[in-house]
């Protein structure tokens, strides 16, 4: 056992942790080699774990649901902190919802519906956590996190916590202040509107149905692979470039929706990287449009 792992285990005896944990078990792509140490802290523990890693020079990676990431085949060195099951409390007070960062968007949307609160229907089918959604300003079907957020609580790598109000978050398309300043979202407060539960659930069902009809949900993926270029749609550019079904190893451009790269069952991170590079070059050559990845790479990519 590496000495730093032994020391960390002694320092945080109650912390839920796993050594050499395969990251393919924790990403929606179902791809990724082992993390040296995978930990699942509570919201009370996370700041102390971050400080310990920083003070001791231990590489640190923060992960939510793993729905917008591609982890290297070689895995991740150091500690992976999972903001998941141990940080997923949801509390409703009036028209406000207080949510920890590890709560799934779909679960929060369902909780809002159960309390006849409208405004979060767009999130019903997004496969991510609140923390990741706030950092990326996730959105769908005309709604975005910036439409409903009132404040977020963040922690930096010195362990300092701050509450940022909505007007301090600099939210725009797939962008936030949290991304720029490299902080970790611990929780968020959303402010919704009173509504009719049956109408809310009908809208959520409609959005989920549209997602199922148009997206390759039957295969592992990281969601939309590329950001939307201004004035274009990434999926249409890829389709018009003749790349529907294009395959590298076990990775494939989905024939159902060309904006998605899917894992046909045996894809490696190297397969996905090569495919993404090929697609981006082909679209650049054919249409002179640059595709930027929406998927975040984690680990060592040679």
Residues annotated catalytic, as ranges = 174, 224, 294
Cβ atoms of 264 and 252 within 8 Å: the answer is: yes
Contacts of 109 (CB under 8 A, 6+ apart): 120, 121, 123, 124, 204
> HEC string of 18-57?
EEEEEHHHCCCCCCCCEEEEEEECCCCCHHHHHHHHHHCC
List of residues 6+ apart from 300 with CB closer than 8 A: 72, 74, 77
Query: Token match 């409609």: residue?
Result: 206
Cβ atoms of 87 and 102 closer than 8 Å? yes
CB 204 within 8 A of CB 52: no
Q: Are strands 96-100 and 184-191 parallel, antiparallel or unpaired?
A: antiparallel
Instruction: Work out the number of other CB atoms within 10 angstroms of the CB of residue 296.
Output: 14
Rounded Cα distance between 259 and 243, Å, is 10
How open is the CA angle 143-66-44, to the nearest 5 degrees? Answer: 90
């Amino acid at each position: 056992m590496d000495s730093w792992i032994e020391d960390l285990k002694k320092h945080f005896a109650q912390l839920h942790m796993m050594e050499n944990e395969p990251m393919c078990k924790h990403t929606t792509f179902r791809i990724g080699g082992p993390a040296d140490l995978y930990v699942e802290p509570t919201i009370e523990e996370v700041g102390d774990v971050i400080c310990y890693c920083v003070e001791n020079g231990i590489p640190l990676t923060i992960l939510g649901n793993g729905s917008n990431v591609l982890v290297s085949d070689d895995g991740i060195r150091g500690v992976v902190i999972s903001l998941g099951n141990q940080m997923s409390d949801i509390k409703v007070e009036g028209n406000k919802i207080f949510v920890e960062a590890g709560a799934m968007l779909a679960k929060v949307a369902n909780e809002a519906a159960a309390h006849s609160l409208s405004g979060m229907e767009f999130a019903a089918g997004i496969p991510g956590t609140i923390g990741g959604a706030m950092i990326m300003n996730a959105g769908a079907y005309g709604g975005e996190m910036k439409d409903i957020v009132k404040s977020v609580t963040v922690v930096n790598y010195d362990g300092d916590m701050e509450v940022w109000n909505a007007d301090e978050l600099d939210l725009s398309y797939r962008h936030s202040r949290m991304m720029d300043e490299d902080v970790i979202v611990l929780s968020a407060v959303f402010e919704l509107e009173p509504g009719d539960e049956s109408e809310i659930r009908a809208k959520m069902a409609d959005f989920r149905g549209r997602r199922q009809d148009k997206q390759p949900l039957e295969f592992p993926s990281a969601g939309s692979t590329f950001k939307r270029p201004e004035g274009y749609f990434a999926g249409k550019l890829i389709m018009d470039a003749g790349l529907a079904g294009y395959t590298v190893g076990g990775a494939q451009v989905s024939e159902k929706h060309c904006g998605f790269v899917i894992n046909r069952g045996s894809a490696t991170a190297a397969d996905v990287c090569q495919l993404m590079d090929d697609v981006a070059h082909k679209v650049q050559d054919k249409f002179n449009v640059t595709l930027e990845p929406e998927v975040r790479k984690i680990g060592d990519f040679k």
